[in-house]
C-alpha cells in the first residue's frame, strides 16, 4: 500500500512483525524436533492448474518451509487433471511418512469437487483445518489440535496486540468456509482470546451498515475492494481486513496493486487499531500453516 500517513502509523496492527515472531517460534520448534527426532515436519502443497494468485501463494508456502527448517513437497497437476488424479495424489500423501501436512490449494479448476478432495485428506494431516472432522472439533470448542490458518492468524493478531475479544461485539463480514465460519467459531468459543458476541453478515444481510456500526471488532472477509467505508464503523473500532484484492493502478510499476476489503483512508481515522493490506493478515496465514505442520508432526510422534 502507499505509505501510511504519519497520524495512522500508531494505529497499525503489524502482521508482518507478528508473523515474524510466530515464525521465530516455529523455527525454534523445528530445530528442537530435528535434535530430538533427527527428522523434520513435512508439508505437501498440491496445486491443480495455473491460477496466478495460487501459484504465488504456493511458492511462498514452500519458501517459508525452507526458511524455517521444514521439509516440503510441491505437487503440480495440470489444469485438465481429473478428480481421480487429484484423489490419487492425496491418498499417496496420506500414506507418505515424510509428510505430516497436506494442503490442496483453493480454488481448484471447476471439474474438481473440492469438498470430496478435502474429505479424502487424512484429518491428522489436514493443516488447513478444512476436513469435516476438524471443522466439527473446532465448532465443539476443542482448540487442542490443528487450527484454521487465517482465522487463527486473526486471533493471534488480536492477542499479540493486547486486544481481548471477551464480551465485545465482533462483526464478521463474509460466511466462507475458509474465513467467515471458522472465524465465528473461534470468537464465540469459551475462554482466552474468545468469549465474544458474534454477528456474521453476508450478501443477503439487511441494514448491513447499521450492524457494522455496532461492531467493537470488525473483520472484513468479503473479497470486495474498499467495501467497508468510514460511515460503516464507529469511533474506536478495531478493524481486521482479511481481503486481498488486486486492482488496476496505472501509477504502480506492475500496473496493479493489492488492496483490502476496507477503505483504509476513510476507516483509519475512526479506528482504534487497523490492519494494513498488504502486511496485515496475509503473513499470518502462512505462519499458522507452519505452526499446524509442526503440530501435526508432534501428534504423529505421540501415536507411535
Ligand atoms: N486459498 C486461499 N486461501 C487458502 C488457504 O488458506 N488454504 C488453501 N488450501 N487454499 C487457499
Give DSSP secondary structure letters for 253-280: TTSEEEE-SB-HHHHTTT-SEE--SSSS
The response to whether residue 105 sits with its C-beta less than 6 Å from ligand 1 reads: yes
Active-site residue 105, yes or no?
yes
Question: Which band of pLDDT confidence, cut at 50, 70 and 90, is reported for residue 59?
Answer: very high
Which of 89, 104, 125, 178 to mutate to test ligand 1, by most ligand atoms within 8 A of the CB atom? 178
Which of 55, 60, 106 to mutate to test ligand 1, by most ligand atoms within 8 A of the CB atom? 106
CB atoms within 10 A of CB 55: 14
DSSP state letter for 123: G
pLDDT at 300: 98
Sign of CA dihedral 17, 165, 201, 180: positive
pLDDT digits (tens, 9 = 90+) for 194-227: 999 999 999 999 999 999 999 999 999 999 999 9
pLDDT at 114: 98
pLDDT exceeds cutoff 70 at 191: yes
pLDDT exceeds cutoff 70 at 281: yes
pLDDT at 101: 99
pLDDT at 1: 65
pLDDT exceeds cutoff 90 at 303: no
Cα 218 to Cα 78, 209, 238, 240: the distances in Å are 39, 12, 6, 6
Could you say which of 128, 216, 241, 261 is catalytic? 128
pLDDT at 179: 98
pLDDT digits (tens, 9 = 90+) for 42-55: 999 999 999 999 99
The response to whether residue 284 sits with its C-beta less than 6 Å from ligand 1 reads: no
Helices 15-37, 282-303: inter-axial angle, 10-degree rounding: 20
CA 130–ligand 1 middle distance (angstroms)? 10
Task: Tell me the average pLDDT of the chain.
Answer: 97
Residue bearing cell 488480536: 158
Residues in contact with 216: Cβ distance below 8 Å, sequence separation at least 6, in sequence order = 168, 169, 170, 236, 237, 238
Query: In whole angstroms, what is the distance from residue 2 CA to residue 252 CA?
Result: 10
The response to whether residue 126 sits with its C-beta less than 6 Å from ligand 1 reads: no
pLDDT at 50: 95
Q: H or E stretch including 73?
A: strand 71-77
pLDDT at 3: 78
**φ/ψ bin of 166: left (φ > 0), alpha (ψ from -120 to 50), beta (otherwise):** beta
CA 293–ligand 1 middle distance (angstroms)? 15
Instruction: Using CB atoms within 10 Å of the CB of residue 118, give its burial: 0 to 12 exposed, 13 to 18 middle, 19+ buried.
Output: buried
**Percent with pLDDT over 70 in the chain:** 99
pLDDT exceeds cutoff 80 at 304: no
Cα 301 to Cα 39, 124, 146: the distances in Å are 11, 12, 15
Alpha helix (H) residue ranges in the chain: 6-9, 15-37, 52-68, 83-94, 114-120, 132-139, 149-159, 180-188, 208-212, 264-267, 282-303
Active-site residue 111, yes or no?
no
- Confirm whether pTM is higher than 0.75: yes
pLDDT digits (tens, 9 = 90+) for 62-108: 999 999 999 999 999 999 999 999 999 999 999 999 999 999 999 99
State in Å, rounded, how far the first CA of the chain is from the last one: 48
Query: In whole angstroms, what is the distance from residue 30 CA to residue 262 CA?
Result: 36
Residues in contact with 74: Cβ distance below 8 Å, sequence separation at least 6, in sequence order = 44, 45, 47, 58, 62
The response to whether residue 267 sits with its C-beta less than 6 Å from ligand 1 reads: no
Query: In whole angstroms, what is the distance from residue 75 CA to residue 17 CA?
Result: 30
Residue 236 phi, psi dihedral angles, 5° rounding: 90, 5
* Cell numbers standing for residue 109: 479448476
Could you say which of 14, 64, 105, 263 is catalytic? 105
pLDDT digits (tens, 9 = 90+) for 152-188: 999 999 999 999 999 999 999 999 999 999 999 999 9
pLDDT at 14: 98
pLDDT exceeds cutoff 80 at 302: yes
Active-site residue 261, yes or no?
no
pLDDT exceeds cutoff 70 at 112: yes
Amino acid at each position: 500500500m502507499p505509505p501510511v500517513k504519519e497520524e495512522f502509523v500508531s494505529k497499525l496492527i503489524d502482521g508482518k512483525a507478528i508473523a515474524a515472531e510466530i515464525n521465530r517460534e516455529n523455527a525454534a520448534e523445528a530445530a528442537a524436533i530435528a535434535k530430538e527426532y533427527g527428522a523434520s515436519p513435512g508439508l505437501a502443497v498440491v496445486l491443480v492448474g495455473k491460477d496466478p494468485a495460487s501459484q504465488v501463494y504456493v511458492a511462498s508456502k514452500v519458501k517459508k518451509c525452507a526458511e524455517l527448517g521444514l521439509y516440503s513437497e510441491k505437487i503440480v497437476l495440470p489444469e485438465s487433471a481429473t478428480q481421480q488424479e487429484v484423489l490419487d495424489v492425496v491418498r499417496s500423501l496420506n500414506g507418505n511418512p515424510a509428510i505430516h501436512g497436506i494442503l490442496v490449494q483453493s480454488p481448484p479448476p471447476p471439474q474438481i469437487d473440492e469438498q470430496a478432495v478435502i474429505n479424502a485428506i487424512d484429518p491428522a494431516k489436514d493443516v488447513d483445518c478444512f476436513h469435516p472432522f476438524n471443522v466439527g472439533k473446532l465448532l465443539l470448542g476443542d482448540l487442542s489440535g490443528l487450527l484454521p490458518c487465517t482465522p487463527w492468524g486473526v486471533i493471534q493478531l488480536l492477542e499479540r496486540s493486547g486486544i481481548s475479544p471477551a464480551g465485545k461485539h465482533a462483526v464478521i463480514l463474509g460466511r466462507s468456509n475458509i474465513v467467515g465460519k471458522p472465524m465465528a467459531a473461534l470468537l464465540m468459543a469459551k475462554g482466552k482470546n474468545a468469549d465474544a458476541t458474534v454477528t456474521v453478515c453476508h450478501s443477503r444481510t439487511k441494514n448491513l451498515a447499521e450492524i457494522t456500526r455496532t461492531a467493537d471488532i470488525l473483520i472484513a472477509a468479503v473479497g470486495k475492494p474498499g467495501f467497508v467505508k468510514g460511515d460503516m464503523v464507529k469511533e474506536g473500532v478495531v478493524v481486521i481486513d482479511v481481503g486481498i484484492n488486486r486492482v488496476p493502478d496505472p501509477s504502480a510499476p506492475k500496473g496493479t496493486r493489492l488492496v483490502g476489503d476496507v477503505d483504509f483512508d476513510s476507516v483509519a481515522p475512526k479506528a482504534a487499531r487497523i490492519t494494513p493490506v498488504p502486511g496485515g493478515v496475509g503473513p499470518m496465514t502462512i505462519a499458522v500453516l507452519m505452526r499446524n505442520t509442526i503440530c501435526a508432526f508432534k501428534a504423529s510422534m505421540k501415536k507411535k
